């Protein structure tokens, strides 16, 4: 299953595959750990500068290249990109407040039968920016999110930290009361100094970090990558386009998978596809099994 985050300048997508031992397994509602033994999930999340740009890169179709190895759209463009990946069904959540500003998209493998796919979090002032899509599966919820950027001069810091973060936390914890959650996307934050190419380059404020710190410290979530690789340095997902930072590998890890602690024993791998081009971000992946 692909879950994509779409915006004319930004796209994040999540690939998810589900594997069962038999068709019978797939038809059962898995309520216990024993019933969940026979599945495998693979997710890929990627922030790109718009699916249109990604599709038209002169050097090749980066999206199809990634799929063979392992969306920011306005509503009127959705029909043009619904069928670009054979074997996947597309869902879009476009920004309606400002053309070309933000949005998300999801591609779900036709081998997967989600219980539901929903847009937004049920609060209009946030949902008009098209920043999230939730897919409910038998075992868990998958949420793909493009977290609002606080802005170069922190002009949206109060909105992000006092409004969006607060409401998003309530939404996530409400889902987690029902079943575990996998939350993925571009969070616009390097949570620890090790997630920036040098300590003084980590310019995120404490105010921006509160939501994720509370989720991990109080609400039983883990950073899947740091759970497996707590001290591994130089693991970046974003470099920007200025100053040839990617070739110098001077970046930030701002794209993440946060997973309910209940699933931590199923975190088999979490990885960064640093060499995959097509954006100033690179894809990241998560395997649960």
Active-site annotation holds for 186 = yes
With contact defined as beta carbons under 8 Å apart, do 55 and 26 qualify? no
Which alpha helices (H) appear in 12-88, and where do they start and end? 23-27, 51-55, 62-69, 78-81
E strand intervals along 137-197: 141-146, 181-186
User: Is 163 one of the annotated binding-site residues?
Assistant: no
Task: Give the whole-angstrom CA distance, residue 176 versus residue 215.
Answer: 11
Using the Cα atoms of residue 140, residue 141, residue 144 and residue 148 in order, give the sign of their dihedral.
Answer: negative
Dig out the tokens for 281 from the structure. Answer: 């971000």
Closest CA to 14 of 148, 179, 142: 142
Q: Which of 88, 91, 101, 146 is catalytic?
A: 146
Q: Which of 165, 186, 195, 223 is catalytic?
A: 186
Q: Are strands 88-94 and 221-223 parallel, antiparallel or unpaired?
A: unpaired
Active-site annotation holds for 126 = no
With contact defined as beta carbons under 8 Å apart, do 270 and 53 qualify? no
Q: In a 3-state reduction of DSSP, which class is residue 85?
A: coil
CA distances from 51 to 47, 164, 199, 244 (A): 10, 25, 33, 23
User: Is 188 one of the annotated binding-site residues?
Assistant: yes
Closest CA to 4 of 47, 66, 62, 49: 47
With contact defined as beta carbons under 8 Å apart, do 122 and 128 qualify? no
User: Is 186 one of the annotated binding-site residues?
Assistant: yes
User: Is 195 one of the annotated binding-site residues?
Assistant: no
Active-site annotation holds for 229 = no
Active site residues: 146, 186, 281
Which parts are annotated binding residues for Mg(2+)?
Answer: 47, 70, 186, 188, 280-281
Which parts are annotated binding residues?
Answer: 47, 70, 186, 188, 280-281
């Amino acid at each position: 299953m692909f879950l994509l985050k779409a915006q004319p300048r930004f796209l994040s997508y999540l690939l998810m595959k589900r594997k069962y031992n038999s068709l019978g397994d797939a038809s059962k509602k898995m309520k216990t750990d024993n019933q969940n033994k026979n599945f495998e999930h693979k997710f890929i999340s990627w922030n790109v500068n718009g699916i249109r740009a990604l599709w038209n890169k002169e050097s090749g179709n980066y999206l199809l290249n990634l799929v063979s190895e392992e969306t920011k759209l306005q509503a009127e463009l959705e029909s043009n990109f619904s069928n670009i990946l054979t074997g996947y069904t597309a869902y879009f959540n476009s920004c309606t407040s400002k053309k070309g500003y933000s949005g998300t998209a999801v591609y779900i493998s036709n081998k997967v039968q989600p219980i539901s796919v929903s847009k937004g979090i049920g609060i209009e002032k946030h949902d008009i920016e098209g920043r999230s899509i939730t897919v409910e599966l038998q075992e868990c919820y998958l949420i793909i999110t493009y977290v609002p950027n606080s802005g170069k001069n922190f002009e949206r810091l109060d909105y992000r930290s006092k409004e969006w973060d607060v409401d998003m936390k309530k939404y996530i914890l409400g889902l987690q009361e029902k079943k575990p959650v996998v939350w993925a996307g571009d969070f616009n934050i390097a949570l620890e100094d090790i997630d920036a190419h040098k300590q003084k380059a980590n310019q995120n404020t404490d105010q921006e970090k509160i939501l994720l710190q509370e989720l991990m410290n109080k609400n039983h979530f883990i950073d899947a990558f740091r759970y497996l690789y707590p001290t591994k340095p130089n693991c970046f997902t974003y470099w920007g386009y200025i100053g040839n930072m990617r070739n110098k590998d001077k970046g930030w890890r701002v794209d993440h998978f946060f997973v309910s602690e209940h699933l931590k024993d199923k975190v088999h791998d979490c990885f960064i596809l640093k060499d995959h081009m097509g954006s100033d971000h690179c894809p990241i992946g998560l395997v649960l099994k």
